[in-house]
Structure 1
């Protein structure tokens, strides 16, 4: 799964390159993994409901892939970071109310820890910024490495 997140992040970074663009280009992609299943962004309410029911009372992994492309050197650095999130058991009513907010529909795994779904979390191992979708300390280390290479 980490390779998938990195591949998506790399694609995002490289897809915006244009002639004359200079500097560092950052791509990030975050995926939610439950067992052997990768949970993407739900296309509609029923899919989001199914995802949240599957996550209820269980632990899952949140993996962010990062890519930093240096237009000056042509080099692309990649990395990933993983966190483990456990949801408390959710009631169907809680899930329906959360779906009514519209929050789940643009987020991998149908939830955003930084929003109302933060109340679903009973345990977090690893970085909170990673679960939000931007592992800041890992990104900063990559940016400093690019600077030091110049």
Structure 2
């Protein structure tokens, strides 16, 4: 079996921090993939396609296991993107107040040597507290979650927005399901422990 290099197909500092938890050496690569959703694409199909596309699109020079991941937030059956602005973050959190919101995170592991791709989707549910307008504004101004799906950082002050969390792996909510990734790596002969 070749000595595989581990590659994270992401420039996200959040995903890099998560992968660092596994204490394995890895490099990062910027995926070259169009992330535009297709018409009538379900959230599950979208995150699967994007995770695979990100992993496969990275150019690697040696046998590699390339990790691709993508996440969407779904509010009232609508896929919600990153807010990018203060106003949009406030609007998204106002919609989420008192609601249960689903996050779908696609995870792909691409073996550049065998061309094999393994893909999984992890679902996570966030149950929001009923939030006042002032609480939402205070949160957005303190944490500025403009580049986070759902307009919050669960690993930070965002935890104050929630009534409860429901899912297999808390890392999924940040954007990289580590429990699934460990299983996928082990199936490729890459032992984390």
Q: Same fold (TM over 0.5)?
A: yes
1:11 matches 2:53 = yes
1:2 matches 2:44 = yes
For structure 1, the residue ranges without an aligned partner over 5 or more in a row are: none
1:140 matches 2:186 = no
Aligned residues: 147
Q: Of residues 136, 150, 153 in structure 2, which corresponds to 1:112?
A: 153
Q: Secondary structure at the match of 1:104?
A: coil
1:41 matches 2:82 = yes
Let me know the Cα RMSD of the aligned residues: 1.4
- Residue 57 of structure 1 aligns with which residue? 98
Within 5 A, what are the aligned runs for 1:75-90?
75-90=116-131
1:130 matches 2:163 = no
1:26 matches 2:56 = no
Q: Secondary structure at the match of 2:110?
A: strand
Offset at 1:36? Answer: 1.0
Shift in CA distance, 26/115, structure 1 to aligned 2, threshold 3 Å: same
Q: Secondary structure at the match of 2:121?
A: strand
Offset at 1:101? Answer: 2.6
Measured in 2, the distance between the counterparts of 1:23 and 1:103 equals: 35
Within 5 A, what are the aligned runs for 1:68-107?
68-107=109-148
Measured in 2, the distance between the counterparts of 1:72 and 1:8 equals: 21
Q: Which has the higher helix share?
A: 1
- Is the 1:32–1:62 Cα contact (8 Å) retained in structure 2? yes
Measured in 2, the distance between the counterparts of 1:85 and 1:66 equals: 19
For structure 2, the residue ranges without an aligned partner over 5 or more in a row are: 1-42
TM-score with structure 1 length normalisation?
Answer: 0.91
Measured in 2, the distance between the counterparts of 1:14 and 1:103 equals: 32
Extract structure 1 runs of 4+ deviating beyond 2 A.
none
Deviations 1:50-75 (A, max 9, x none): 10000011001111100111011011
Measured in 1, the distance between the counterparts of 2:72 and 2:144 equals: 16
